[in-house]
Amino acid sequence: MALDFSGRVAIVTGAGGGLGREHALALAARGAKVLVNDLGGAVDGSGGSVGAAQRVVDEIRAAGGEAIANGASVTDFEAVQAMVQQAVDAWGRLDILVNNAGILRDKTFAKMDIADFRLVLDVHLMGAVHCTKAAWPHMAGAKYGRVVMTTSSSGLYGNFGQSNYGAAKLALVGLMQTLALEGEKHGIRVNCLAPTATTRMTEHLFPAEMLAAFAPRSVVPAMLVLASEDAPTRTVLCAGAGTFEAAHITLTPGAFVGTGPDADSQLAARLSQVLDRAGEIVPGSGAAQGANEWRLAQGQR
């Protein structure tokens, strides 16, 4: 049985094509009412038209679903607030936010204009901040919310020529970590999706024989799980070609070296011990680091 989203209201940003389109179609096919947001610009963020979003809305309606279009830029907080209000005015609630909007401006760091670095952060990071900030009070008031951030292996593990994109995508993981903690008492669960998919942003990176396997629809099941009623929280779920993995930020047990005048040389000598991943943990919060350091400083092993 497919997951059921009947009665739920969702916003999917960057949903005029690629991953976002597949997300919006899947949610609608499972009963959700969907606001389809897309600026309608080029891969680098230039231009704009609501036509891309409207075409997806037309697809959803033709299949018997319910959807409305929105052409706001996620970089414009006032426009994003109006977008959220549009969904609430239409359907009386907001349950799901899928932060999917993004652009690329790839170059090596040495050759990258600082404006291109900043714009990619504005779209990916601040765009998700704007949308989540606007949605948060509606979700908190209802004691229910599911927020999906779109991260990337480029942020988790790095990728040549994508310092701006990687920085933005890992920042979304940090945003998720804290919002999941803050949202718990309000029934809001926040997760990250790291897709591998052939979209117009990435299709040129894939050999021809891989294009079909990594079609955007292969990522959709992970989004649906993260947006569902039984979703986890503080999870980074990776997806591509029908395979699903989880990524974790871990903490090794470490070693107590002290703060004496030779602490640097001692650390250098014991660095392999500090880096040893045996016994590593996934901390429940940032406080775990300090707690571990204090425990070792007190002579507890």
CA 47 – CA 69 distance, rounded (Å): 17
Query: What is residue 160's predicted lDDT score, i.e. its pLDDT?
Result: 95
- Give 110's contacts (C-beta < 8 A, 6+ positions apart): none
Residue the block writes with tokens 């005029």:
16
Q: What is the pTM of this model?
A: 0.94
3-class secondary-structure state, position 223: helix
pLDDT recorded at residue 1: 84
Q: pLDDT 10s per residue in the chain (301 long)?
A: 899 999 999 999 999 999 999 999 999 999 999 999 999 866 655 656 789 999 999 999 999 999 999 999 999 999 999 999 999 999 999 999 999 999 999 999 999 999 999 999 999 999 999 999 999 999 999 999 999 999 999 999 999 999 999 999 999 999 999 999 999 999 999 999 999 987 666 656 666 667 678 889 999 999 999 999 999 999 999 999 999 999 999 999 999 999 999 999 999 999 999 999 999 999 999 999 999 999 999 986 5
Q: Which two tokens stand for residue 173?
A: 């993981």
| Unique residue bearing structure tokens 């990435």 | 202
Catalytic residue chosen out of the listed positions 5, 136, 165, 214:
165
Is 243 exposed, middle or buried (CB count within 10 Å of its CB: 0-12, 13-18, 19+)?
A: exposed
SS3 at position 70: strand
Q: Tell me, yes or no, if 157 is annotated catalytic.
A: no
Contacting residues for 191 by C-beta, under 8 A, at least 6 apart? 146, 147, 148, 149, 176, 180, 226, 231, 232, 233, 234, 235, 236, 237
User: Counting runs of H as helices and runs of E as strands, what totals does the chain give?
Assistant: 11, 8
> Quick one: pLDDT at residue 300?
66
| Rounded Cα distance, 54 and 70, in Å | 8
DSSP state of 216: G
Phi, psi of 117 (to 5 degrees): -65, -50
Angstrom distance (rounded) from CA 33 to CA 93: 10
Which residue shows structure tokens 């986890």? Answer: 232
SS3 at position 149: strand
Task: Residue 41: count other Cβ atoms within 10 Å of its Cβ.
Answer: 19
- The amino acid occupying position 120 is V
State residue 46's pLDDT score.
63
Query: Is the distance from CB of 151 to CB of 172 less than 8 angstroms?
Result: yes
The pLDDT, as a whole number, for residue 200 is 60
DSSP 226-266: HHSTT--SS-EEEEETTEEEEE---B-------SSTTHHHH
Q: Are 190 and 233 in contact (CB under 8 A)?
A: yes
Report CA 184 to chain centroid distance, whole Å.
18
The rounded distance, in Å, linking the Cα atoms of 27 and 147 is 14
Element (H, E) at 195: strand 188-195
**Residue 152: strand, helix, or coil:** coil
Alpha helix (H) residue ranges in 92-203: 114-121, 127-142, 153-157, 163-183
